[in-house]
């Protein structure tokens, strides 16, 4: 392998993946995804859709999941910095309701692998961010669920700097909490 550094988390299945960056006076080159390397790293998924979004400082998106068509995601930031969060919703999991957060940025080039069965969201910390992610299933309109980003039963410690105003759409403010979660 050698092309990737892989870190596991306290929650089984989550992976932090840092690609090898080859740089010189011209800039840099890195492989962001190569199936065989990822399979060797424990991420044996076929991705069928790539998405990209842009957001400004203080935007909080999530916590989202697909109900009947769960998606594994491989997420990364190509510009700016975000705090990315996954919440375990897998039935029977010993870490059900637990969360893990990871700082992703254009500088650290880390990628966060989130398997099926997790809610996902992120907070933009830089003035502007571009966020890219691969999905293992297609998006199905009408199949989206969510959890409230500030549910005290989950207890996510969002790194909200003093003076930052959150920009959250009404739908994301009104999701229920983990106690209301039904698959």
Percentage of the chain lying above the pLDDT 90 cut: 90
Is-catalytic flag, 22?
Answer: no
Q: Is residue 24 situated within a structural domain?
A: no
pLDDT of residue 3: 85
Task: Specify the pLDDT at position 90.
Answer: 96
Does residue 156 belong to any structural domain of this protein?
yes
Residue 113 has pLDDT above 60, yes or no: yes
Residue 180 confidence (pLDDT): 86
Distance CA 15, CA 12 (A): 9
For residue 122, is it within any domain? yes
pLDDT at position 177 is: 94
182: pLDDT strictly greater than 80: no
Is 30 a member of any domain?
Answer: no
Listed in sequence order, the DSSP H helices in 16-128 are: 35-40
R_g over Cα of the chain: 16
Beta bridge mates, 15 = 8, 113
> How far apart (Å, rounded) are the C-alpha atoms in residues 33 and 79?
18
Within-domain flag for 28? no
Residue 26: strand, helix, or coil: coil
Domain with residue 109: its CATH number is 2.60.120.10
The average pLDDT across 96-123 equals: 97
Catalytic residue (one of 83, 133, 149, 181): 133
Instruction: Give pLDDT, residue 2.
Output: 56
Residue 37 lies in a domain: no
Structural domain includes residue 31 = no
Q: How many domains does the chain have?
A: 1
Query: What pLDDT digit, counting tens, does each position of 42-95 carry?
Result: 899 999 999 999 999 999 999 999 999 999 999 999 999 999 999 999 999 999
What are the backbone dihedrals phi and psi of residue 83, each rounded to the nearest 5 degrees, phi first?
A: -105, 115
Q: Residue 1: its pLDDT value, please?
A: 42
By residue range, what is the domain housing residue 112? 45-180
Question: Which position among 64, 120, 128, 181 bears the catalytic label?
Answer: 64
Please say if 64 is a catalytic residue.
yes
Q: In terms of C-beta density within 10 A (0-12 exposed, 13-18 middle, 19 or more buried), how is residue 90 classed?
A: middle
Q: What is the mean pLDDT of the chain?
A: 94
* SS3 call for 40: helix
Cis link prior to 158 (omega < 30° from 0)? Answer: no
Q: Model confidence over 150-165: pLDDT tens digits?
A: 999 999 999 999 999 9
């Amino acid at each position: 392998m050698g092309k990737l550094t892989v870190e596991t988390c306290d929650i089984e299945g989550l992976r932090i993946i840092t690609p090898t960056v080859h740089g010189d006076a011209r800039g840099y080159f890195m492989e962001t995804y190569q199936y065989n390397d990822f399979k060797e790293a424990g991420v044996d998924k076929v991705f069928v859709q790539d998405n990209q979004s842009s957001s400004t400082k203080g935007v909080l998106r999530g916590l989202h999941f697909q109900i009947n068509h769960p998606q594994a995601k491989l997420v990364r930031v190509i510009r700016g910095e975000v705090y990315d969060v996954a919440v375990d919703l897998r039935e029977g999991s010993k870490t059900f309701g637990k969360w893990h957060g990871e700082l992703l940025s254009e500088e650290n080039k880390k990628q966060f692998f989130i398997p099926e069965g997790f809610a996902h969201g992120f907070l933009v910390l830089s003035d502007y961010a571009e966020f890219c992610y691969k999905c293992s299933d297609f998006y199905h309109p009408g199949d989206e669920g969510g959890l409230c980003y500030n549910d005290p039963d989950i207890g996510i410690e969002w790194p909200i700097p003093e003076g930052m105003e959150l920009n959250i759409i009404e739908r994301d403010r009104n999701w229920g909490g983990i106690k209301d979660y039904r698959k």
